[in-house]
Amino acid sequence: MHPDGNLVVTTEPEIGLANELDLDAYFSRVGLPTAPPLDEEGLRVLQQAQFFNIPFENFDIQLGRGIDLAPEALVAKLVHRQRGGYCFELNGLMLMVLCELGFQARPLLARVHLGGEISGRTHQMSLVELAGRSWLVDVGFGAGGLRCPLPMEMGHSEEGPGWAFRLVEHETWGIMMQTRTGQEWRDSYSFDLLVVAAADIALGNHYTSTAPMNKFVTTRIASLPRATGRVSLRNDVLIEVGPQGKSQRKIPAGGGYLDILKSVFGIDLDAQYTDLRVLTPE
């Protein structure tokens, strides 16, 4: 770490990437007319395009299909079938695109601190080095996650209408990403800069998608950010947060539930409602 508090990051080998990533199809999927430039503004444009257009969701787990992180599977699901995914999928795709475009990027893994017991290293993000600065890029923490790349500079915050994020040093957990709620900064996840191997990601993905008590196994989840808020689905409750506050309503079972997935989140399941795991009381 430099005396000024900025982190020094070394280049490490890349995780395997897809050889047949269709960038034109990806740009169409995220609403970009062309490739962004390889600079800080281009990185911001790319991160926000995917964040606002590909939903966070775990419905393949709820259908008992599991999560395939093979590059060709990620492209087929998130780009061509226009589905969403969770962190290992969303940030896996983002890492592929970053590297394909020519950004210098590699994966990181984090522990989640959102109340209760601290998780293992079950959240994936990307570290990008650009023009002498390092950036945290994360499109896989749900609609409440980073809304723009975050400089790897301790204490620096990125802020906008209703949101703020920063990184701070933590004596136990390394680097902590915090989110401001009202006037209070709250811990979201912690991480370090150790090299991440493909096996690390495979282990985290397997646990997160199969452990019986993990929330992604027990709970149906979907979320999508909006310019000034978010919309989320937790089991059968649709939650909308915006300038006027927060509202929620219960979604009935059956075809209407699938209609909400399609109309609100753009998720078109090739399945019947009865194929989903039965909801359990929370």
For the question of residue 187 being annotated catalytic, the response is: no
For residue 259, give the nearest of 279, 233, 227, 225 by alpha carbon.
233
Q: Considering 60, 113, 123, 148, which one is annotated as catalytic?
A: 123
Residues facing 226 on adjacent strands = 229
Residue 266 CA to its chain's centroid (Å): 17
What separation in angstroms does the CA of 226 have from each of 21, 49, 93, 147, 261? 27, 12, 21, 10, 16
Q: Considering 60, 99, 113, 138, which one is annotated as catalytic?
A: 138
Q: Are 267 and 258 in contact (CB under 8 A)?
A: no
What separation in angstroms does the CA of 174 have from each of 123, 149, 194, 279? 15, 19, 11, 37
For the question of residue 99 being annotated catalytic, the response is: no
Q: Are 77 and 85 in contact (CB under 8 A)?
A: yes
| DSSP 8-state code for residue 194 | -
SS3 of 122-176: the string is EEEEEEEEECCEEEEECCCCCCCCCCCCEECECCCEEEECCEEEEEEEECCCEEE
Q: Considering 87, 99, 113, 187, which one is annotated as catalytic?
A: 87
State how far the Cα of 152 lies from the Cα of 76, in Å rounded to an integer.
Answer: 32
Residues found in the chain? 282
In the block, tokens 């979604």 appear at 251
Q: Are 242 and 229 in contact (CB under 8 A)?
A: yes
For the question of residue 148 being annotated catalytic, the response is: no
Residues designated catalytic? 87, 123, 138
